[in-house]
A and B are shown apart, each in its own frame.
Chain A
Amino acid sequence: MPAFMEAPASRLLTDLQPGESAVIAEILGDDSLAMRLMEMGILEGEGISLIGYAPLGDPIEFEIRGYRISLRAAEARRVRLEAAS
């Protein structure tokens, strides 16, 4: 298989740059954290953008469904993004 056809390494929510948006592919896991993320509207197919980092680098501010939410990097890594088109 030629190298360019390999599936791109899966991108996580933490891989976004400030100001960048992407579409959510999947919430990893089905524990209480995953449930909480989904309850807050972080769902596959939904667009999300990274607004900025806290001054100490963590947590991270995101925008989804027209509101702002703060996630720690460890929590944001539970969100897999669709490959950028």
Chain B
Amino acid sequence: MSSTSDVPTTESESSPTRSARKTVALIGNPNTGKSTLFNALSGMKARTGNYPGVTVEKKVGKVVWDGREIDLIDLPGTYSLSPRSPDELVSVDVLLGRQAGVDAVDAVVCIVDASNLERNLYLVSQALDLGLPTILILNMMDVAEARGIEVNAEELGKRLQLPVITTQAHRRKNIDIVKQAIADAIDRPLRTPESLFPDPFYEEVGKLREILRAEKNIDLPQFLAQRLLIDREGQIEKEVTGHGEAGQKVKTELTAARERLAEANCRVPGIEARVRYGWARELLDGVVTHPAERPASRSDAIDRFLTHRFFGLMVFAALMMLVFQTIYTWAGPFMEQIEAGQEVIVGMVDRVLTPGPLRSLVVDGVIAGVGGVLIFLPQICLLFLFIAILEDCGYMSRAAFLMDKFMARLGLSGKSFVPLMSSFACAVPGVMATRVIESRRDRFVTILVAPLMSCSARLPVYLLLIQAFIPDRTLAGGLGLQGTVLFLMYSIGALVAIPVAWGLKKFFFPGETPHFVMELPSYKIPSVRVVFDRVYDRAKAFVVRAGTLIFATTIVIWALGFYPGNHDHQYDLQRSIRAADIKLEHESEKLAEVELSQEKGEKLAAAKEDVRLAEVHLNDLEEEYRRVSSQLMADSALGRMGHAIEPAVKPLGWDWRIGVGAIASFPAREVIISTLGTIYSLGGDVDEADEGLIGALRSSRWPDGRQVFNVPVALSIMVFFALCAQCAATLMVIKRETNSWRWPIFSFVYMTALAYLGALITYQVGSLWL
């Protein structure tokens, strides 16, 4: 359709139903290519968010097809529409038009794995009970063909009286046909669902609805009333029973109804699976032909090898080493590029902006903030590159299968392994990778302990303090003392995570152990498109949704370190330093000229003296600048906070300067190094191997002349940084993934308490012994 924007009246003339925005929901089992189809349909322009109060990701793609505006909603992959938790209820609420902020759904697109139709049809059967216009997508037709399974899509469509379309979503095959089918379906009237269950079932559903109307004044939709009757201790039952007398009455009636059904040989919940699978089998009879003898497929052979007692574990270990290496080491060059780019931009800003608050804000706030977000992208992209490849080829669930027993000993499931392992490189992608964990309880516990794993940002802190204070001695058995301390620091977080996970399960997420019923999809060659879509999706989600919060944190910490304080003298010094720099360059050039001109004697001596003087002048100014900066930091809000908490950190063996470092490193642990550099008048651009910083730490004194730093203090700082939550990015990602401020605050509080306690014990016990 051509644009009619040049005829302003057209819009108001068109009938309201034509112009009304329509809503279409996409549902399907996990591993069916649902997200791939969604990406193909929405053209990767989907907006992501969260549904209020739950952790379910809300994905909406706004598209215009055939002149029709449509909101495509990607619902989370699921095997059934029986809500057992608030998270699972969201999908049902969206489909029934009960979800706030989402318009009533006009049509449903069900995507199924054509190579595994029978089980996939269970969900379809439930979806058909919604009575909405429905389209069935048979995806992965290539996989079905490869396994010798023939599907007569036309016959299936005839029997179901639904549009049935075969696709290969990762190859973008038949996507236009799907779009057309959706555009056709959105105006179709509601369907009358087929009555699959025996009559007594529907009679009881009708009675229940009446009771609810009478007792609680609730008009429960037919679909939910069925769920109420079937799902023992399901989410609907939790919501309508319980509250007071009326709830109790409903509960009694519900129990009686279930008993009557059991007597009528139609016992819930078993009846549902029997009815729906019976329906699916009958439906597929003559539609799907399996090869007489299932051929020993390549997938089976691969599976035997990859789950083998010995080779399986070897391959797994090698793969995990590779993943870890990639995010730990190979992300390094990319991160250095980002830092180098940051410096180039800072250099440009330095030339454009004169010294002042604006320049400080831009350089130390804005650019540092943007850099602080981008710096995580290499690790996120690389980790999700691996995860997407392993997921799409079918290995991820095998990894969970292999590691489940090990993780079950820690109270988690096999699906927590990869997120926790990744957190040893960086908790940010680690926390983001917990989305695969179905059980809310396991997922939250994994998210909350992931930041305890010793990530790469802790390494500079360990290296600095070990270099400066741990003697380079060899212990019995040939182990180096420095290396041993480093290893202990790496282990401490993981060791502490075990009791923490146990405590979280016991006190914050009580309940029975979540089950671990997991499909093991057949292996296939991963699709480049699917993999890159996923990496892009995760990177975008991080930048858009967590990045803004991380950026804001950096600005706040910058302001705390900048204000209050009169920076005029500092700016004067910056200007003088620039002038002195130019002068030195000028004098050096003159000296070079004199040297070239063969004129020796007095002229050369004078030129050399000029260069020397210029150097001395510049050094004096720089020293003064660092002293002033240090004083400004001490007088800033941050410095005052450091002084204010000194009584609290003194039992850890810390002085106010270390306190400032700990507060200033809230955005990221490694910031403590540049903060200490500034406080010790060395400038902020020191690194962990800086001789000057190591020297300054060694000679730092208390007012009474005692050394601030000794071995117990160094150990106490390291233990603190091993256990603390000084990483705004992690906290903001936790906010995003849990969709609540409660959990990042909780993480911060519990980790800070642990860190304080750990540092206290380390210092106090260490002071006795060392």
Binding site for B on A (CB under 8 A): 27, 30-41, 43, 51-52, 54-59, 61, 65-72, 75
Contact = CB atoms under 8 A, between A and B. Distances in A.
B122 A39 contact: yes
Interface string B229-246: 001111000000000000
B347 interface: no
Contacts of B521: 67-68
Given A39-B82, A41-B277, A72 B404 contact: yes
A32 B85 CA distance: 11
A36 B307 CA distance: 24
11 contacts: A39-B80, A39-B273, A43-B274, A57-B405, A59-B405, A66-B116, A66-B118, A66-B294, A70-B397, A71-B516, A71-B517
Q: Is the interface of A mostly helix, strand, loop or mixed?
A: mixed
Interface stretch (B153-161, B308-316, B563-571): B308-316
A30 B516 contact: no
Contact of A56 (B119, B270, B406): B406
Interface centre among B232, B521, B522, by most A CB within 10 Å? B232
Nearest to A38: B273
Nearest to A52: B307
B314 to A, nearest CB: 10
A31 B309 CA distance: 33
Contacts of A33: 515, 517
| 9 closest residue pairs by CB, A with B | A38-B273, A56-B405, A68-B520, A39-B80, A55-B309, A70-B518, A58-B405, A41-B119, A67-B116
Contacts of A65: 116, 118-119
A30 B269 contact: yes
Contacts of A41: 118-119, 122, 273, 277
Given A41-B122, A54-B402, A68-B520, A32 B84 contact: yes
A43 B119 contact: no
Contacts of B122: 39, 41
Contacts of B233: 31-32
A55 B277 CA distance: 33
Interface centre among B269, B274, B303, B313, by most A CB within 10 Å? B269
A68 B402 contact: no
Interface in B506-556: 515-522
Contacts, number: 121
Given A35-B232, A52-B304, A43 B277 contact: yes
Contact of B273 (A43, A54, A58, A70): A43
B79 interface: yes
Contacts of A36: 79, 515, 517
Nearest to B288: A66
B750 interface: no
B202 interface: no
Contacts of A35: 82, 231-232, 269, 273
B515 A55 contact: no
Given A65-B118, A72-B516, A55 B313 contact: yes
A32 B414 CA distance: 20
A59 B269 contact: no
B307 A61 contact: yes
B51 interface: no
Contacts of B520: 61, 67-70
Given A39-B122, A55-B312, A75-B516, A70 B304 contact: no
Interface centre among A37, A40, A55, A65, by most B CB within 10 Å? A55
A30 B273 CA distance: 12
Nearest to A26: B270
Contacts of B234: 32
Contact of A30 (B82, B270, B290, B519): B270
A35 B517 CA distance: 11
Given A38-B272, A43-B274, A61-B520, 10 more contacts: A30-B232, A35-B273, A39-B80, A40-B519, A51-B303, A59-B516, A66-B118, A66-B290, A68-B522, A70-B520
Nearest to B234: A32
A55 B308 contact: yes
A36 B273 CA distance: 10
B401 interface: yes
Nearest to A59: B404
A84 B273 CA distance: 24
Contacts of B79: 36, 39-40
Interface string B256-281: 00000000000111101110010000
Contacts of A32: 84, 232-234, 515
A72 to B, nearest CB: 5
A71 B520 CA distance: 10
B290 to A, nearest CB: 7
A46 to B, nearest CB: 8
Contacts of A58: 404-405, 408
Contact of B269 (A34, A55, A66): A34
A82 B317 CA distance: 39
Interface string B276-303: 0100000000000010001000000001
Given A54-B405, A57-B405, A40 B307 contact: no
Given A38-B270, A55-B312, A72 B515 contact: yes
A49 to B, nearest CB: 11
Contacts of B115: 66
A58 B521 CA distance: 18
A58 to B, nearest CB: 5
B405 A67 contact: no
B531 to A, nearest CB: 23
B508 to A, nearest CB: 20
Given A35-B232, A38-B273, A66-B118, A55 B402 contact: yes
Interface in B101-156: 115-116, 118-119, 122
B724 to A, nearest CB: 34
A19 to B, nearest CB: 11
Contacts of A71: 516-517
A82 B215 CA distance: 45
A23 B590 CA distance: 96
Contacts of B116: 65-67
Given A36-B515, A56-B406, A70 B232 contact: no
Given A34-B269, A52-B304, A55-B312, A67 B82 contact: no
Contacts of B517: 33, 36-37, 40, 69-71, 75
A68 B404 contact: no
Interface in B298-350: 303-304, 307-310, 312-313
A59 to B, nearest CB: 5
A69 B277 CA distance: 17
A77 to B, nearest CB: 12
B488 to A, nearest CB: 27
A80 to B, nearest CB: 13
Contacts of B277: 41, 43
A40 B79 CA distance: 7
A3 to B, nearest CB: 33
Interface centre among B116, B405, B406, B521, by most A CB within 10 Å? B405
Contact of A61 (B267, B294, B313, B401): B401
Contacts of A55: 307-310, 312-313, 402
A37 to B, nearest CB: 7
A57 B312 CA distance: 13
Interface centre among A30, A51, A68, by most B CB within 10 Å? A68
